[in-house]
Chains A and B, each alone.
Chain A
Amino acid sequence: MKYNIVDDLWYTEKHEWARREGNTAVIGLSDYAQDKLGEIVFVELPEIGAEVEAGKGSAVIESVKAVTDLYAPIDGTVVEVNEELIDRPEAINSDPYGAGWVYKIEIKDEGQLSALMDRQAYEKYVIGEEEK
């Protein structure tokens, strides 16, 4: 597989990931998504305290010639944002599951998380996307 897809994350069909940390979840963009976008030049972060809703735009990721919304994988309240991305948006390209995390939310509904794709399901999904 060309793309790095890791364990212990939950993935969406729009290629976001969520990692559970206690009662919070860290949100980011998958390796597949960063590859398709190309070199990322700007990230518009949500405000701390903002309510995000599953499937709705919560942050904006820009490359030179494309803009994409980062849709919230689950409902929640933003408790922390990755301010490093303001100066180093390329962290999403180089380390999408680590230094390239985007924001952290307080989980509202546990069930929403486990309804997302796990590693195996997402791998299958990406293969399907590639064949389109």
Chain B
Amino acid sequence: MRKSKALLFEMSHAGRQGYSLPSCDVPEKPVDELLPRKLQRCEPLDLPELSEGEIIRHYTGLSTRNFGVDTGFYPLGSCTMKYNPKINEEAAVLPGFAYLHPCQPEETTQGALELLYNMEQDLIELTGMDRFTLQPAAGAHGELTGLMVIQAYHRQRGDYKRNKVLIPLSAHGTNPATVSMTGCEVIQVPGDERGLVDLKALKAVIDGTISALMLTNPSTLGLFEEEIEAIAKAVHEAGGLLYYDGANMNANMGYTRPGDMGFDVVHLNIHKTLSTPHGGGGPGGGPVGVKECLIPFLPVPLIDKKGEGFCFNYDLPESIGKVHSFYGNFGVIIKAYTYMRMMGAEGLKQASTDAVLNANYLMNLLKKTYHLPYDRTCKHEFVLSARREKKKGAGAGDIAKALLDRGFHPPTVYFPLIVEEALMIEPTETETKETLDAFAGAMEDIAKEINEDAEKVIHGPYHTVVGRLDEVRAARNPILRWNKEQQL
């Protein structure tokens, strides 16, 4: 039986309490004496009143209405939903890490600085860059940091005319949005029939006003840009720089490095490639690595080795400044560091190997049933098109809902934009062959159902805690908070 779940506010009973605090043990003064009446809050504070047990049941109930990697297969393309090792979680909550204040004197945080320093060294080796900042708190935040660094580099050279950034049509939405945040203009680069960057078209738009080219390699189609050297050469010759969006780095570990491909700036999504959980939307981590010539522009502070110890280095006069109040998502960095230390060089390479093997295996199973617009060896992910199914009445979004009924999290749908009715599938290396076979079976089953009764498919899902939700209603009449007056 489907049922909506009460909100905390609807369960509230005046007088219930979910906390325990010690009583105030300093001599108290009347509040009005410490804080004049006119500076005090008049508005009532309408938070819920609940006992601890009720709160736990509420959230336990909510958790059962949620699907995570621990629940089942989650082949969300470009999101690298691999298994999140449990040891990561334990590492991040060690008291020496979790209860560390960012303003403590350096000599009291040597262990943390050493970890950050080690992490930087590991990332330098993984990517072939020269230095990293760990400050960006997410992939998009890393993109912003990286482009800020590139802009600062051009400006420092007196090169103020570089205000255009090239982006392939298949790029993540964060790429163009980031470009706008740095006051630059987006120039779209078309793809060719192989699904790769069209080198000729690229050369045609390159001129002296190009600041950078942003590229994901493998691309969002899961295809390796084979002409990367020529692309890099063309951009560099025009005085532009190359930015590597690390969203798809899970295909490359131990095989190829952005630094060796000619990229000048790279961000990694450690919540993808390096196994830290995504938290239902965050926190993530988006460290940014750069080549030598860009080090002076990195955010402050860098972490340097000083004698036997480690220190913050704020002495970067050309730095772009700060992009995070402190040092980024330290807790997330600990998890990624733990993962890298557990895996080692061989383990990381095997992870990429199996990620690519799983993707190719699944692609081969699914292309028998679904249209595969770019039929060549893929890397860690591939993109199907549900255009044939759409003609029969049910598209990519409907297939996604049908997968929910079969116990799978759907792939990314309607992205990349260059593929009609796109289904972008990334199985990751942590899935078994049996899981992939079962998923392929479900996909075949859905295709069959669309052939027989598309109408049924477009009204799914049928077995989830709620049915298909009305997104149009939500957008037309936004209800963005609970209100006493508006109770259903």
Contact = CB atoms under 8 A, between A and B. Distances in A.
A contacts B directly (C-beta below 8 A): yes
Contacts of A89: 476
A90 B414 contact: no
Contacts of B475: 41-42, 62, 64
A65 B414 contact: yes
B45 interface: no
Contacts of A90: 476
Contacts of A80: none
B472 interface: yes
Interface in B395-420: 414
Contacts of B46: none
B471 interface: yes
Interface residues of B, number: 5
Nearest to A39: B472
Contacts of A65: 414
User: Chain A binding site: helix, strand, loop or mixed by DSSP?
Assistant: loop
A41 B475 CA distance: 6
A91 to B, nearest CB: 12
Interface in A68-98: 89-90
Nearest to A88: B476
Nearest to A65: B414
B185 to A, nearest CB: 15
Interface string A48-65: 000000000000001011
A89 B476 CA distance: 8
Contacts of B471: 64
A41 B414 contact: no
Interface in A91-110: none
B398 to A, nearest CB: 14
A8 B269 CA distance: 55
Interface in A28-42: 39, 41-42
Interface string B471-487: 11001100000000000
A41 B476 CA distance: 5
A119 B414 CA distance: 33
Contacts of B414: 65
Contacts of A41: 472, 475-476
A79 to B, nearest CB: 28
Nearest to A62: B475
A39 B475 CA distance: 10
A41 B470 CA distance: 12
Nearest to B472: A39
The winner among B414, B471, B475 for most chain A CB atoms within 10 A is B475
Interface string B445-488: 00000000000000000000000000110011000000000000
Contacts of B472: 39, 41, 64
Nearest to A66: B414
Nearest to B397: A65
Contacts of A64: 471-472, 475
Interface in B23-66: none
A56 B414 CA distance: 27
A101 B472 CA distance: 21
Contacts of B476: 41-42, 89-90
A62 B476 CA distance: 10
A89 to B, nearest CB: 7
A130 to B, nearest CB: 13
A42 B473 CA distance: 11
Nearest to A38: B472
A93 to B, nearest CB: 10
A39 B471 CA distance: 10
B468 to A, nearest CB: 13
B394 to A, nearest CB: 16
A64 B476 CA distance: 9
B219 to A, nearest CB: 22
A86 B475 CA distance: 13
Interface in B271-305: none
Contacts of A42: 475-476
Interface string B86-127: 000000000000000000000000000000000000000000
Nearest to B414: A65
A64 B475 CA distance: 7
Q: Which of A62, A64, A65 is the most central at the interface, judged by chain B CB atoms within 10 Å of its CB?
A: A64
A39 B474 CA distance: 12
Interface in A11-46: 39, 41-42
A109 B200 CA distance: 41
Nearest to A42: B475
B479 to A, nearest CB: 14
A39 B470 CA distance: 11
B400 to A, nearest CB: 13
A41 B414 CA distance: 19
13 contacts: A39-B472, A41-B472, A41-B475, A41-B476, A42-B475, A42-B476, A62-B475, A64-B471, A64-B472, A64-B475, A65-B414, A89-B476, A90-B476
Given A41-B476, A64-B471, A90-B476, 10 more contacts: A39-B472, A41-B472, A41-B475, A42-B475, A42-B476, A62-B475, A64-B472, A64-B475, A65-B414, A89-B476
The 6 closest A-B pairs by CB, nearest first: A41-B475, A39-B472, A41-B476, A64-B471, A64-B475, A64-B472
Interface of B: 414, 471-472, 475-476
Interface of A: 39, 41-42, 62, 64-65, 89-90
